[in-house]
Structure 1
């Protein structure tokens, strides 16, 4: 049970930080026993990388929806562009869903990642 810092993001996610102290179970120099305990929680003033990716894709999706709405108001002359944007929106929806599932798995402690 060696001790590490924990970095906690504003979104609630976290990752392991620097090693801080050996426990009495590990006798090899430079090695840890494999069990991690928190020495100090360090607040990080930003969101985790997954949340940043989700936010970026949500902004792109919003921009596409606004474009489609503008083109639809102008009539049917932009049908090909609207179809292309709708495909893009569906692709972004799928990517956002996968990222949110990955985030949920990580928060439940069953995913691999920076934990």
Structure 2
């Protein structure tokens, strides 16, 4: 039961911080017993890496939708570009879904421990 800092992000996600104190079970220098307890929680104003990736992909998806809207107003001469952008949007949707599932798995793991 060694003590560590915990970093809590603005989105609610967290990660382990620096090691702070040994427990009575571990006698070897530089080793921890394997069980982590929180010494203190440090709030961080930024979002976690997963949320940053999701936000980036959402911005790219919005840009592709804007491009499609602009091309559709100009007529049927950009059909191939529209189809390619739709494929990009489908790919981004699947990546966003996977990242959201990963984030939800991490948040559920937080509530069970």
| TM bracket, shorter-chain basis | over 0.9
Query: What is the deviation of 1:12?
Result: 0.3
SS in structure 2 opposite 1:39? strand
2:37 is matched with which residue?
37
Deviations 1:59-94 (A, max 9, x none): 000000010011111111100000000000000000
Aligned residues: 110
The aligned residue for residue 71 of structure 1 is 71
Query: For residues 1-115 of structure 1, what are the structure 2 equivalents within 5 Å?
Result: 1-109=1-109
Structure having the larger proportion of residues in helix: 2
Q: Alignment RMSD, CA only?
A: 0.9
Query: TM-score scaled to structure 2, two decimals?
Result: 0.95
- TM-score, normalised on structure 1? 0.93
CA distance in 2, matches of 1:108, 1:28: 34
Gaps of 5+ in 1: 111-115
Q: Partners of 2:30 and 2:82 in 1: how far apart?
A: 59
Q: Which runs of 4+ in 1 moved over 6 A?
A: none
Q: Note the residue ranges of structure 2 that are not aligned, 5 or more in a row.
A: none
2: CA distance, partners of 1:84 / 1:24 = 61
